[in-house]
Structure 1
Amino acid sequence: MSATPPMHAPAPQGGAEEGSHTPSHQGRPIGAQRGRLIDRVGATAVLTAAAVAGAGLTPGLTAQAEAATLSGKVLRIAAAKKGAPYVYGAAGPSRFDCSGLVMWSYRKLGRKLPRTAQAQYNKANHIAKSSREPGDLVFFHQGTRVYHVGIYAGSGRIWHAPHSGARVRLEKIWTKNVWYGRIG
């Protein structure tokens, strides 16, 4: 019995043209974007298997599966608050400031975070932009001071409570002055 299935299955016989590295499905080229989706689905299957099998069979993958599950849940929780009004100092359940939305979303999953964006940055495991994944935190900074936080949703966008007069929303990251963090 194999503990972990391979991440990439070989292309079926008669798939892509000879010499081509394009994945295929039932003899048709599937394209790079769809091929990446299949790769992600394969990775998700491995992580799901690790979560189901438990730490005994796949100790390294179990932590990754738990993190993937946490990030997906935190995104759904934050997204469910779309349209909630921004109120300075509010931490839910119907009004939020930026760090209040993050704190509330993670608290719903049993994770305790500090109250302010700066304190949340200090607690997070800092990661590179190239390592960011949906569910990670995006910290906006000026110099060394963190002044805003949101939850990374993928494709350069975040869920956040932006400012007075605004509501919780999904928005594109508007500056390069950001740092990334992960809650373990």
Structure 2
Amino acid sequence: MNNKIIQEAVKYLGVPYVWGGTTPEGFDCSGLVQYVYAKNGIKLPRVSQDQSKLGKDVPLNELQPNDLLFWGGVGTAHHVAIYIGDGYFIQAPQPGDKVRITKISDYKPDFARRLS
């Protein structure tokens, strides 16, 4: 992994949240993650439940940029975001909101996965 993931993700700051959205016209959480990783040649499943089963588990106190953050459980995750470093992540939060950067202490994930 490299910071090309993060560079790609920040291009979509301000894009509206769209339930089921998978393009820069509008993203949901897993659609944003899938799109950003695909732009970097990494194919991911479409939904957060399936994305949460990939890679290896990472303790939240050992996060690195590009780690995927999840809310819920492995296989049952209901939200996913990309850790960008320094205690922040980028996410497509919820209907009525836009892709934005959030402080991890404001919305703590349940677990994280590292894809490489």
In structure 2, how many angstroms separate the alpha carbons of the residues matched to 1:156 and 1:100? 22
Match of 1:166, as an amino acid?
D
User: What is the CA-CA distance between 1:175 and the residue it aligns to?
Assistant: 4.0
Q: How does 1:115-134 map to 2 (within 5 A)?
A: 115-134=46-65
Q: Alignment RMSD, CA only?
A: 1.7
Q: How does 1:1-184 map to 2 (within 5 A)?
A: 67=1, 69=2, 72-141=3-72, 145-173=76-104, 174-184=106-116
Give the 3-state SS of the residue equivalent to 2:72 in structure 1: strand
Deviations 1:155-175 (A, max 9, x none): 221100000000000011234
Task: Kindly indicate which of the two structures has a greater share of residues assigned to strand.
Answer: 2
Runs (4+) of structure 1 moved beyond 4 Å?
Answer: none
- How many pairs were matched up? 115
Structure with bigger RCO (C-alpha 8 Å, 6+ apart): 2
Structure 2: which 5+ residue stretches go unaligned? none
In structure 2, how many angstroms separate the alpha carbons of the residues matched to 1:154 and 1:105? 17
Going from structure 1 to structure 2, the CA distance change for 1:78 and 1:124 (only over 3 Å counts) comes to same
Structure 1: which 5+ residue stretches go unaligned? 1-66
Going from structure 1 to structure 2, the CA distance change for 1:143 and 1:125 (only over 3 Å counts) comes to closer
Going from structure 1 to structure 2, the CA distance change for 1:181 and 1:79 (only over 3 Å counts) comes to same
Aligned residues of 1:107 and 1:113 also touching (Cα < 8 A): yes
- Indicate the structure (1 or 2) with the bigger Cα radius of gyration: 1
Task: Kindly indicate which of the two structures has a greater share of residues assigned to helix.
Answer: 1
**TM (normalized to structure 1)?**
0.58
What fraction of aligned residue pairs are identical, expressed as a percent?
37
Give the 3-state SS of the residue equivalent to 1:123 in structure 2: coil
In structure 2, how many angstroms separate the alpha carbons of the residues matched to 1:157 and 1:120? 20
Going from structure 1 to structure 2, the CA distance change for 1:133 and 1:177 (only over 3 Å counts) comes to closer
User: What is the CA-CA distance between 1:135 and the residue it aligns to?
Assistant: 1.1
User: What is the CA-CA distance between 1:130 and the residue it aligns to?
Assistant: 2.6
